[in-house]
Structure 1
């Protein structure tokens, strides 16, 4: 399926030739693709508190954006307007959305962001724009005309509530139907317009800015760095200007600040926590009537376990990261937990040690991990 998804390129070839380098349009990348939800179901998701949604409306060249939760009233009075509904994080609320996202697991989970689904009637779109991250655009219901450009002119329309390009010059154009896929590297200008009622699935990838990474890492250091000592100046001399910060004080403070140091292990710990931190609008629901530990073990041995749709899990060396927390695990448990992180589910637990179940049970009680429902027998 992956070979078809990438236009009969292997993942290695795709990464070498296209990833962050050039766009790629793949007709019938998923020829039997079925929408994971209907337009009506997407509107229902947009009404939820735990989902991020936007209604983008363009009327006579004037753009507006309404943010969710959205009600039925938000969709009234749109006659004569061009509009598009965008819902983020569909993979965090629909198992089918998570399954679609995992079809792109040839890109590391550390880079994977979420699945956004958009619906637009004929003429709808969000204007010509560019993204600062990689994106795969998979067409579902209906048809969409895509125009793209490698232009370097990225000036934006002043005062618009969206990052709409002031001047867009199309260089390539396609009409995407169900199962067609368009990959775009960062900052590649594109303009999609619905030709009829259509659903588009955007598989986006995280690309934090250098400023964001530095800011978050400094916050991490603030919580984890301990520096001893205090400012001292037993050699203080009488100064001509009492309001002056003199060179001696600057030198002493500069020397104190040299204690701010870090190593690769700290960077790995920061990245694991940062990349798995749930988005602020997400919350976990622990089981209303959790099983006791013994019952949990018996069921898990039979059915296995799986991560909650909202859970994020990564690993590095002996450390496992889940939902912003870090756990250093013994070598005998690493294989089990890396399998869970890679596949998001774990079966074949008959030979698993008690220590593994103790970790899994804690995550189960927190709502981070679930027990699959019992399979129904047919006969």
Structure 2
């Protein structure tokens, strides 16, 4: 009897709401997330064979498990305006940005090309489910899930990242070389950020279901060994203190509009005649010091709301389209008791204590207790289970639904 292989797309499961942080996970080679964070996170690489056991189990049954998203689907995504995509070719190196015409993307049997698609968690449920596995790391640190698909020999050259990354092999094989080298100088003559001198210290070939974790500034080079090689990269943002403080200060400056007493003009009835007219007046300095103390701008809690709002902003490419036939307040309220309300795939929600920020906005201001609790559930669980909620009219919950930030689960 002729033997044959079944090729089925892998269906990643959604992670449970309460992750078992102290129990061993296959994803980390049999250690717990708690142990991973203590021993590896931001410290040293980790190679995990069979991080996704389903691939090995399928092979034992003479079945072939494929990526959750086919190569043809990824090409279609790269042709869409709302998907951030790039095409990298080697020999010579070139870089171009999408959206692409389908004919401009090499066929899978061609070699030395790579198609990169950013933020795929916003465009495909499988990618969003993969991200749910990593919610033992704060949401504020998460950037996105990037998918690379490549022809044989495809890659982006030896480089380093300034952030943590999990590299999950989803289809085909990829050879990885890494190095802890201190020389991270880049070749100034290339259109990509490629290391000028790369000396590999370790080398592995990753099969489907394997995963490689790399902390920041580890030099690495990945080369596709098979046609349609897919690597899914879960990346984490690492903003500079300059960026965070600038954003926090900017939002504090905006909030000064809501303090009427600051509209008062500076006066100096105690000013004396001065022989140093060019100097900033001492009286002005003293009064500004008083105002700064009153505003408590030297205390971190006054910066944190602005920083949280900034980190909750969606990616620049995010696009929200409100419902074509929006529900009335009454219909919306009724639906809350019947259906799950979930964030749009491109919505970001973060919490600062009991305050919740969605897409850069504080959703608690002037809201009822019911609305505040609803937002807290959406932030912590990324879903609002059916419940009766008072005060829906003119609430931030209804406004977010109208804006397309929140949707009812179909």
Q: TM-score range by the shorter chain?
A: 0.7 to 0.9
CA offsets, 1:89-133, max 9 Å, x none? 100111221111111111111111111001111100000100000
Cα RMSD of the aligned pairs, angstroms, is 2.6
Flag structure 1 segments of 5+ consecutive residues without an equivalent.
Answer: 240-244, 374-379
Equivalent residue, structure 1, for 2:45? 23
Shift in Å, 1:211: 2.5
Matched-pair contact (CA < 8 Å) for 1:272–1:326:
no
CA offsets, 1:241-281, max 9 Å, x none? xxxx84x3276676576455243332221122101112222
CA offsets, 1:9-61, max 9 Å, x none? 111100100000010011110122652311121111112222211111111xx
Equivalent residue, structure 1, for 2:362? 326
Alpha carbons of structure 1 residues 347 and 270: separation in structure 2 relative to 1, 3 Å: same
Shift in Å, 1:178: 0.8
Pairs within 5 Å for 1:283-362: 283-328=319-364, 329=367, 331=369, 333-349=371-387, 352-355=388-391, 358-362=395-399
Flag structure 2 segments of 5+ consecutive residues without an equivalent.
Answer: 1-14, 16-23, 56-65
Separation in 2, partners of 1:201, 1:250: 60
1:206 equivalent to 2:237? Answer: yes
Equivalent residue, structure 2, for 1:377? none
Equivalent residue, structure 2, for 1:217? 248
Equivalent residue, structure 2, for 1:126? 156
Pairs within 5 Å for 1:106-255: 106-197=136-227, 198-225=229-256, 229-230=265-266, 234-235=271-272, 237=274, 246=278, 248-249=279-280
Give the alignment's TM-score, normalised by structure 1. Answer: 0.88
CA offsets, 1:314-334, max 9 Å, x none? 112231100110022555554
Matched-pair contact (CA < 8 Å) for 1:318–1:330:
no
Secondary structure (helix, strand or coil) at the match of 2:233 reads strand
- Compare 31-40 and 17-26 and name the one that shifted more: 31-40
Equivalent residue, structure 2, for 1:242? none
CA offsets, 1:117-160, max 9 Å, x none? 01111100000100000100100110000111111110110132
Tell me: higher relative CO, structure 1 or 2? Use CA pairs within 8 A at least 6 residues apart: 1
Give the alignment's TM-score, normalised by structure 2. Answer: 0.81
Separation in 2, partners of 1:119, 1:348: 39
Equivalent residue, structure 1, for 2:87? 55
1:38 equivalent to 2:70? Answer: yes
Shift in Å, 1:336: 3.4
Secondary structure (helix, strand or coil) at the match of 1:346 reads coil
Shift in Å, 1:79: 8.8
Matched-pair contact (CA < 8 Å) for 1:128–1:192:
yes
Equivalent residue, structure 1, for 2:9? none
Secondary structure (helix, strand or coil) at the match of 2:338 reads helix
